[in-house]
Chains A and B, each alone.
Chain A
């Protein structure tokens, strides 16, 4: 079969130079403010549409304990649709993530504004992460409607953080897609995620990491515990 080959691709209508992405006056990065009622946030939808605006963000493999340890996210530019990256404590940043684990619970709730959303708990070694699917995560919402715990699931989504009333940071996942997978697929993911974690830790230890780890996690931060957690996860297989 032939796909839609064109005899000469369309010209870039923008001409020779692409539009400059606007930058902030005081520096490139703008800190994203914490949102409380995150499931109703409209910013998620535009972030899910980042494919339309720039090259797609790769899905970073992150283990559950690391997701929960994320303290902050960074908005990469001023544009409302600029991508938001989570700053990973193992060193590095993640725009989009791929997590696999065991769905242990999926609870249907109603937000203060009257919108339905699912609060799902997924055990991705070695901790349970929280996943929220509301009106802006339709595909994931429907998937949760059809899944029953316990089940192995794969989640493609983004890490989002918010501050509790006591000033603590909590991280959770805003899913784009949730699907069921089998045990082997999930186990193979643990290996991938462990290796990805080691890659990040190694880069961080070698000083190759230019994500703002220190401003967020402090100057005496060590990425080692995350490597250890990855080893533990592997040993659990």
Chain B
């Protein structure tokens, strides 16, 4: 990496900030890049660091700053993985989707909110009035460029992924229709991996008894109906992890009963005897963590969760796998 590369990087940074009306101290930026690279920080990391501190110094946020790097055109299903690679931080992407559902904004600052998708999955989108973006319509396909994709952790620990177009983004209607699988196809994904965690909200839970509600109660409260009588139920919120991706997967009553080895009444009794519901969760940990699961699941659009339709616990030894892997290893060493 040469002095030229550093000068180029300084120019790129200057351009980025110029686009939002800010003139940066290029000499200072160059010095800091030099210093960082002398300390063995790779140039693109150094650029990110200098950019961050410039953002702080000039009070500019990441979604204000246009990042002219070429974004990858990503599939919806890649977004979670990309965010994870960025250690949970917001990323900039391009994506082509069809608008599936428009929702009622719950906050006055929101322009539009709803669900969009491509053939690989669905994701929430949110735009803000201040960004003055063109409206999108249900059933129409758009190219979203330079949008922020982010992950938001809900109180109960689930993650919602969303794309957030802003004033640096552009939304263009596409002539071609981005195909989205039918509701039925959309609702069937294979999820496989090892159960590595049993999340809070697993085991014995209570559901709202109001007609047609069924929401899981939080300390006896329903998010919609307030304080209600709860109906006991069993479920598991497991993290199924295959080493590349970790998915939140919900196992329903039937599945949980099978895994636990007892029905709802028996579980309630067990919890009562121990005066603690967590005995059930402990049992689930003992029975289920470490197991390899292959599941067919419906993908929950708004929160990225999977609800299992069917699953198998895969406990047989994969003999072919052993020899295939060994061969691969030997090739790798001989290469």
Contact = CB atoms under 8 A, between A and B. Distances in A.
Interface residues of A, number: 79
Contacts of B328: 195, 198
A220 interface: no
B322 to A, nearest CB: 5
Interface residues of B, number: 95
A227 B333 contact: yes
A20 B126 contact: no
Interface stretch (A51-59, A109-117, A124-132): A51-59
A177 interface: yes
Interface stretch (B17-25, B84-92, B262-270): B84-92
A9 B303 contact: yes
A196 B63 contact: no
A76 B330 CA distance: 34
A156 B36 contact: no
A16 B63 contact: yes
A26 B33 CA distance: 10
A156 B53 contact: no
A201 B194 contact: no
A184 B317 contact: yes
A194 interface: yes
Contacts of A196: 243
A231 B107 CA distance: 57
Interface string A41-84: 00000000001111111111100000000000000110000010
Contacts, number: 222
B196 A98 contact: yes
Contact of A7 (B103, B109, B243, B332): B103
A4 B214 contact: yes
A182 B292 CA distance: 11
Given A16-B166, A27-B39, A21 B197 contact: no
21 contacts: A3-B305, A6-B223, A8-B113, A9-B302, A18-B62, A20-B61, A52-B153, A52-B157, A54-B87, A54-B151, A55-B83, A55-B84, A55-B153, A59-B243, A98-B194, A139-B282, A188-B292, A194-B329, A198-B325, A198-B332, A234-B325
Interface of B: 35-36, 39-42, 45-46, 48-49, 52-53, 55-56, 61-64, 80, 83-84, 87-90, 103-107, 109-110, 113, 124, 126, 128, 130-131, 148, 150-154, 157, 159-160, 162, 164, 166, 194, 196-197, 199, 214-216, 223, 233, 239, 241, 243-246, 250, 252-253, 282, 285-286, 289-292, 300, 302-303, 305, 307, 314-318, 321-322, 325-326, 328-330, 332-333, 335
Given A16-B63, A154-B289, A227-B332, 6 more contacts: A9-B103, A18-B62, A77-B87, A192-B243, A194-B325, A228-B333
Interface of A: 1-12, 14-18, 20-21, 23-28, 51-61, 76-77, 83, 96, 98, 100, 139, 142-143, 153-154, 156, 176-177, 179-185, 187-189, 191-192, 194-196, 198, 201-202, 205, 210, 215, 224, 227-228, 230-231, 234-235, 237
